[in-house]
Amino acid sequence: MPPFRYTAALAAGIEQRWQDRWEEEGTFRAPNPTGPLAPAPGTAEAARLDLPKSYVIDMFPYPSGAGLHVGHPLGYIATDVLSRYQRMAGFNVLHAMGFDAFGLPAEQYAVQTGQHPRKTTDENIDRYRGQMRRLGLAYDDRRTFATTDPDFYRWTQWIFLRIRDAWYDAEQRRARPIAELVAQFESGERATPDGRPWAQLSAVERAAVLDGHRLAYRSEAPVNWCPGLGTVLANEEVTPEGRSERGNFPVFRRDLAQWMMRITAYADRLLDDLDTLDWPEPVKMMQRNWIGRSQGARVTFAVAEHAGSVTVFTTRPDTLFGATYMVLAPEHELVNGILPESWPAGVPAAWTGGATDPASAVAAYRKQAAAKSELERQENKEKTGVFTGAYAVNPVNGERIPIFIADYVLAGYGTGAIMAVPAHDHRDFAFARAFELPMRCVVTPDDGRGDDPTTWDDAFVSNDAACCNSTHDGISLDGLAVPAAKQRITEWLAAQGLGEGTTTYKLRDWLFSRQRYWGEPFPIVYDEDGAAHPVPDSMLPVELPEVDDFSPVTFDADDATSSPMPPLAKATDWVHVTLDLGDGPKRYRRETNTMPNWAGSCWYELRYLDPTNADALVDPANEAYWMGPTASATTGGVDLYVGGVEHAVLHLLYARFWHKVLFDLGYLASVEPFHRLVNQGYVQAYAYTDERGFYVPAEQVVEADGGWTYEGKPVRREYGKMGKSLKNVVTPDEMCDAYGADTFRVYEMSMGPLEVSRPWETRAVVGSFRFLQRVWRSLVDEQTGAPRVVDTPVDDDTRRLLHRTIDGVRTEMAGLRFNTAVAKLIELTNRLVQISADGAPREVAEPLTLMVAPFAPHLAEELWALLGHDGSLTYQAFPVAEERWLTADAVVYPVQVNGKVRGRVEVASDADDATVQAAALADEKVAAALAGRTPRKVIVVSGRMVSIVV
């Protein structure tokens, strides 16, 4: 083995040396316009402030105990490659990394072992930092933190207080300080809920009124209580089966006083501003679906022989004439009030559920619905329900229609009540068929099915057809297209005082309390009356107390009646405090819930901008510089944010919400946190099970004619995640040991497009290793380690390849197509190898080194030094292609005869079409294919090809 061959050991030496040097020199530090991270005037760093900026980050990781496997760094390497490229291409690049370190695993480990979560967390972070350093990730080392740092969560708490201290002004469509709302109440500009003057309200009453407006508020509301975990959960953390996403415990709806975030106030803006973002369409779609805005109308139906009325929400007010019955959610509050003593005469048996009177029918149905698990409801979509015995009056034609309760109507959406139009709604159709309810066609089918619903297989649903059978005193929709009919009827209802156009959302307010230890404490205390008071900014952060027992009290998983007991409640010395909140020292009780995991990740991208600022979460000048709106990003935000699709809804929606509140309150110039989002794919892996179904170590499985064996016995292959229990984990450290970090980086980038998931294949890594070896061997003498570069000029053909490569690599880099960029570099390298028998021409060696640098930075730095340069190449200009070498003198045209390539002709690149055509027809292979026939048509696509038709 030659002593200076590029081996793993040689690579390890180079990598270590350059990582040390980058650290010593602070190579990747990005200057801020102002504050502690602003550069000294006149330095190279200061000059970079005049360049266009680029802010590139990944979704920061939760530092788990298992460390990184080869799947995790895919996005980190991609953003690193891009940011290294951009530094060379003339940008001031901010690239940073932190840790989302509050979370359950550390707490659960603490519960099991008694080891403080902070210790576990810090150890894991150290391990992650070590692994990331070893990969050569070029972060600004001054801009890093964990969400668990008191200096960080101080600001998380500060933001919480600003949100609590704000209300949403629906007219101005923005958040405003609560003091401005108080002023409106005081002046009488805004009436109090019960009309009394503000001054006459007691302190408790005022607090209650304001809580009805605050963007962070406490409410006694139905929440998802999970006794098995001992905590409440956000809607998003509950599976469709009604169980906890984590742990799969049953979840119950219970009324509990909890902190909420009024994210619903921002539903429209969160929806509308998606249009300004450069995000993958599926992610936008998921957010749109989650917000679930739908336009429609509320319509009030009187209850027959009764004083009450029921308001329904419908998106199809145009079908009001087709309403033949009404359905309330079983839990609807009006149900009990409208039940008659006995069934009306002639009620069909199927409607009563076999009960003797409406009250017992409703009670029985409710019981039956409650007994069904969510899963059973999912599986069985057959419509069930029961008649209430009451009738509603259709306001448009006075018709009496029966009122049912059924679980296909959800209490939490719209008004919890619907008008049923079985002819034009699939669900209503199914219900009507099951209960033999009448149907009336009020939208003429345009698919030839006829207008008699009794002959239909399903409802006719269309927004393009025209209305019919919809005329009564003073109102007719007949002949109107659906959209026009909606407008007409909505106006009519409003004029009659029977309804109004309205918008509803699926989005609910965000439950923000967790009964956990390892989270941000709320900066809230309660006085003797139970009133909440903010902890003054000057007393932040409210730090977590030391406790002996980190677990919330958990209960029998099925005990729906249990109540939360957070771990912080046990820290009695901490809970009970004496504070002076401006009216002298008093006793207070601290809030013992903590914030949910998402809190820190709702704003961390802002803290990288000014991580050491002690006076503000970020200096406005720094935020405006890095994230402010630009011509192409009109709502501002991070230039590139890379992370997994699993955060498509929750993290990204919550972070957008907080960002908008902070914008409204004047703290930020940007309206959106993340302008461009890219979802990196997953690196997955094969796992193998033996005949008993146990996993066997994947690395020892061998492939043998169409199957796989482990220790000679056949095993089954499955494809999925990497995990300890699947015995298929491959770590970046192993790859660094075997090949070096540069090889690993190149391999991860050349596996395929960033967005696509792909299987890990360790044995393929060697291809990237050979590539770097060829680069090294071309420029360095393997026997002496001396550079073997010559100054002889290269042939035109090589020079053209060089410039085509430069041009192509720049294009691919900008489009994040790193796999094809690497392929182009390999092609250039393979040419260099061919022409370097007597030494590598500098004309190719230098630009190749610079272009390889984003992918294999350590190797490139080493080669750059060997080429005779001082200092890091980090800020060397990326090569620029010369236009004149991008076009060849001659072009080879493929010639098609009847669609098949039959020959090729070489023609000067500036030849006109006639010349090209003549050359094509003169080619002997083409002539042979023509076999004497006269071309009917000859098509010359300039610079591309010739097509002859005979």
Partner RNA sequence: GCCGAGAUGGUGGAAUAGGCAGACACGAAAGCCUCAAAAGCUUUUGUCCGAAAGGGCGUGCGGGUUCGAGUCCCGCUCUCGGCACCA
Binding residue count for RNA, defined by CB under 7 A: 81
CA dihedral 430, 435, 441, 443 (to 10 degrees): -30
Taking CA atoms, 633 is separated from 59, 282, 865, in Å, by 20, 20, 39
Calpha distance 327→335 (Å, rounded): 10
Question: Contact between 68 and RNA (CB under 7 A)?
Answer: no
Q: Which one, 474 or 899, has the nearer CB to RNA?
A: 899
Site string for RNA, 634-653 (x = CB under 7 A): -----------x---x----
CA atoms within 13 A on the CB side of 915: 11
Question: Please, what is the minimum distance in Å from the beta carbon of residue 597 to RNA?
Answer: 17
Peptide bond into 673 cis (omega under 30): no
Q: Which of 118, 253, 817, 869 binds RNA (CB under 7 A)?
A: 817
> Which of helix, strand or coil describes residue 603?
coil
Long-range Cβ contact pairs of 567-574 (< 8 A, separation 24 or more): 567/515, 567/516, 567/517, 568/517, 568/521, 568/544, 568/592, 568/593, 568/594, 571/545, 571/546, 571/547, 573/545, 574/545
- The neighbouring-strand residues paired with 707 are 704
Question: Contact between 947 and RNA (CB under 7 A)?
Answer: yes
Binding piece for RNA, criterion CB under 7 A, among 30-38, 189-197, 344-352, 377-385 = 377-385
Question: Contact between 773 and RNA (CB under 7 A)?
Answer: yes
- Residues 6 or more apart whose CB falls under 8 angstroms from that of 425 comprise 316, 319, 459, 461
Q: Which one, 106 or 775, has the nearer CB to RNA?
A: 775
Residues 726-755 that bind RNA (CB under 7 A): 750-753
H/E element, 313: strand 309-314
Angle at 595 between CA 515 and CA 555, to 5 degrees: 10
Question: Contact between 504 and RNA (CB under 7 A)?
Answer: yes
Residues 898-927 that bind RNA (CB under 7 A): 898-902, 904
Residues 541-580 that bind RNA (CB under 7 A): none
Q: Which one, 559 or 734, has the nearer CB to RNA?
A: 734
Question: Please, what is the minimum distance in Å from the beta carbon of residue 498 to RNA?
Answer: 16
Site string for RNA, 866-905 (x = CB under 7 A): --------------------------x-x-x-xxxxx-x-
Residues 265-324 that bind RNA (CB under 7 A): 281-282, 285-286, 289, 292, 294, 296, 313-316
Calpha distance 320→421 (Å, rounded): 8
Q: Which of 77, 260, 409, 442 binds RNA (CB under 7 A)?
A: 409
Question: Contact between 716 and RNA (CB under 7 A)?
Answer: no
Question: Contact between 329 and RNA (CB under 7 A)?
Answer: yes
Residues 830-849 that bind RNA (CB under 7 A): 830, 833
Q: Which of 827, 835, 839, 885 binds RNA (CB under 7 A)?
A: 827
Question: Contact between 90 and RNA (CB under 7 A)?
Answer: no
**Alpha-helical regions (H) of 353-404:** 358-371, 374-379
CB 300 within 8 A of CB 395: yes
> Which of helix, strand or coil describes residue 401?
strand
Q: Which one, 131 or 778, has the nearer CB to RNA?
A: 778
Calpha distance 517→919 (Å, rounded): 81
Question: Contact between 759 and RNA (CB under 7 A)?
Answer: yes
CA dihedral 607, 613, 618, 621 (to 10 degrees): -130
Q: Which one, 451 or 827, has the nearer CB to RNA?
A: 827
Question: Contact between 74 and RNA (CB under 7 A)?
Answer: no
Question: Please, what is the minimum distance in Å from the beta carbon of residue 924 to RNA?
Answer: 12
Site string for RNA, 213-252 (x = CB under 7 A): ---------------------------x------------
Question: Contact between 758 and RNA (CB under 7 A)?
Answer: yes
Site string for RNA, 335-374 (x = CB under 7 A): ----------------------------------------
Question: Please, what is the minimum distance in Å from the beta carbon of residue 377 to RNA?
Answer: 5
Calpha distance 467→480 (Å, rounded): 6
CB 860 within 8 A of CB 873: yes
Nearest to 322 by CA among 421, 255, 237: 421
CB 234 within 8 A of CB 224: yes
Q: Which one, 636 or 808, has the nearer CB to RNA?
A: 808
Q: Which of 506, 589, 721, 799 binds RNA (CB under 7 A)?
A: 506
Structure-token match 């390889």, residue found: 852
Q: Which one, 174 or 427, has the nearer CB to RNA?
A: 427
Provide DSSP, 864-908.
HHHTT--S-STTSPPP---GGGSS-SEEEEEEEETTEEEEEEEEE
Question: Please, what is the minimum distance in Å from the beta carbon of residue 275 to RNA?
Answer: 16
